[in-house]
Structure 1
Amino acid sequence: MTSTSPLSDQLVTVFGGSGFIGNYVVQALLARGARVRVASRDPQAGWALKPLANLGQLQFAYCDITREDSLAASLYEADYVVNLVGDFTGDLDMLMGEAPGNMARIAKANGAKHFVHLSAIGADANSPTAYAKAKALGEGRVLDAFPNATILRPSIVFGEDDSFINMFAGLIENVFVLPVFGGDAKLQIAYVDDVAEAVATALEDPAAHGGHTYELGGPEQLTMLEINERIAAAQGRDRRFWPVSDSSSKLFARIPFTPMSMDQYRLLKAGSVVGEDARGFADLGITPRPLGLFLDKWMMRYRQFGRFGLSNERAKERAQRT
């Protein structure tokens, strides 16, 4: 535990703290000695964090972010606030626009020292996608209420337990020929621990980071096709990938109950890379880590026979011969 951190013994409310990114953000805050209140519509989803906290260091609270009384209860006596809430379904303008603004307003009125808001690369009030428009609305509402807040815009976030790399890994494990939507889309995917470190770093120093927006991308730009190829190689599997045309992708995205909505396809097609003049990880003193640093280890469970099978290089050689 880092007792010299300004967050030590301070109460930090983390909205969405029981989710994928929230799990790592909470760990980064606990390591700095903060007292953390996880505010979520499903607090039980974060209970695996309990063994990582000292006695009295971690608290869970049910919160409906669309209700101001629920927000106020979760923000009671909070010294710092982090908002990680994001979704592709429901009332996006409320969940990612108005609700964050209400959080920031209540936090400011309560005397919170700093507010960190997680947005996304591509947030744009003029975007054709409801997601990007809602993210832009949230940024505006937060800064209106808490002008010194820090806005973090990550690219797609990956990690060992994510729903991005693992979704493709499961498909590659079981399917010999895979369609790739938006195959040439460039993504600067960011490692979840690095994003969590960015949140904690920004929270620690409002004087340096308050009022600024940071775009968080990994150290390399990869296309969707390259990501799939790397996953297959790490599994030691010989797979064929079929880049799907733009017209066919749009048709697929419009079909009800498919795993990709039209909004998601438009976001994918637009790519997710850090702007040339944007502040980024380096301005927070963080060196982002690449996917390749972890992929071979993470794909072990997807290889034939796992740790008891061939190495990924030998497995791929054998697959190519058969």
Structure 2
Amino acid sequence: MQNDLVVVFGASGFLGRHAVRALAKEGYRIRAVTRRPNLANFLLPAGQVGQIQIVKGNINREEDIAKAVAGAAIVVNCTGVLYGHGKQGFESINCDAPGRIARAALAAGVTSLVHVSALGADTESDSGYARSKGLGERNMREAFPRVTILRPSLVFGPEDSFFNRFAQMARFLPALPLIGGGQTKFQPVYVADVAAAILKAVQDVRTAGRTYQLGGPKTYSFKELLQFILAETGRKRLLLPLPSFIASVMGFVAELPSFLLPIRPVLTVDQVRLLKADNVVQPGAFTLDDLGITPASVESIVPGYLWRFHPKGQFKDQVAISAR
């Protein structure tokens, strides 16, 4: 009898919940690993009764990981932090945890391992985030050479922390910051397309050992993305160019409270460093196209959830029609 048990780490997160949904739709049994199971019950309706099991697990604890992967055929790692704090920092979550998961998967006889990293992952990067993602990939490969690594660009979807955050900021601020002049390039990719890539990597043995760079159909500058947000939310705001040096100082000040309290600052010094490099798919890389996936565009998805930030809310379209 074929083992169809998939263990998903970070199952209740932004990407993890979409991965669980995609896997459940294809009939896989899923063990959803999360630190707070009581907050992950929303995952259960994604599958049939008993198809999805929610278990408590901390990826900083090797015994938790070993228990989670026991008896599984496939492991998917969707964990990661863009801002690190304490035991949930870059080193522990982005760098060390992937190695722990890979070693446990190998010991448990797992046949397929999929790791979600990030476009721009680089062990030599000035950014702590990008560097930790690169080291995490290296730790994965050293322990489980046939791991499939997925590197998405900026991921968007109804629960994202980019379009929603800047749309929220535009409600209250007279201006939005163009860090570094706003010329950094992004290739936003829809969260459901990343979930589809995870599913494909699970199903297709030919993906083993490969690294895929995942980007959407179009490249945008940071400025263009902010202009799009303002247009969709009906806000007129100044886009204020902010030199990287000044942004770094602001990030340092914004981070100060987080040294005492577990709160996420609006801007960090590391995020400013991250914005110095473009985040786009490189020529010659394996992409969504190689996985048989046609990516959705920002324009076809994002307006469907940014309407709530418009002054007229869900009635904005009716108002525009009435005006004509």
Q: Scaled by the length of structure 2, what TM-score is found?
A: 0.90
**CA drift at 1:237:** 2.5
Could you report, residue by residue, the CA deviation over 1:68-99 in whole angstroms, capped at 9, with x for unpaired residues? 11111111101100011101214422222222
Which residue of structure 2 aligns with residue 288 of structure 1? 295
Change (3 A) 1:94 1:223: same
Matched, 1:89 2:84: yes
Offset, 1:193: 0.3
What RMSD, in angstroms, separates the aligned Cα atoms of the two structures? Answer: 2.1
- Decide whether the 8 Å contact of 2:90 with 2:128 is kept in 1: yes
The answer to whether the aligner puts 1:78 opposite 2:72 as a matched pair is: yes
Aligned to 2:9: 15
Aligned length: 310
Report if aligned partners of 1:232, 1:238 keep a CA contact under 8 Å in 2.
yes
- Rate the CA distance shift 1:313–1:245 in 2: closer, same or farther, 3 A: farther
> What SS does structure 1 have at the residue aligned with 2:212?
strand
Q: Counterpart of 1:162 in structure 2: which amino acid? A: D
Alignment-derived partner of residue 46 in structure 1: 40
The one-letter code of the counterpart of 1:291 is V
Aligned mates of 2:63, 2:39 — CA distance in 1? 22
1:312–1:243 CA distance, 2 compared to 1 (3 A): farther
Identity of aligned residues (%): 38
The alpha-carbon deviation at position 9 of structure 1 amounts to 6.6
CA distance in 2, matches of 1:260, 1:313: 35
Per-residue Cα deviation, 1:121-152 (whole angstroms, up to 9, x for no partner): 11111111221121111111111111111000
Match of 1:239 among 222, 237, 240: 237
**3-state DSSP of counterpart to 2:282:** coil
Structure 1: how far apart are the matches of 2:92 and 2:169? 34
Q: CA deviation digits over 1:21-53, x for unaligned, max 9?
A: 001000000001001111111223321121221
Partner of 2:274: 267
1:194 alignment counterpart: 193
Matched, 1:113 2:120: no
Any conservation in 2 of the 1:191–1:289 contact (CA below 8 Å)? yes
C-alpha separation between the residues in 2 aligned to 1:309 and 1:140? 48
Q: Deviations over 1:250-290 (max 9, x none)?
A: 22122124411111111122121111121111111111111
Runs of 5+ consecutive residues of structure 1 not aligned to the other structure: 1-5
Per-residue CA deviation, residues 139-169 of structure 1 (Å, 9 max, x unaligned), is: 1111111111100011111101211110011
Contact 1:236 1:314 in 2 (8 A): no
- Classify 1:156/1:238 alpha carbon distance in 2 versus 1 (closer, same or farther; 3 Å): same
CA contact (8 A) 1:9 1:34 kept: no
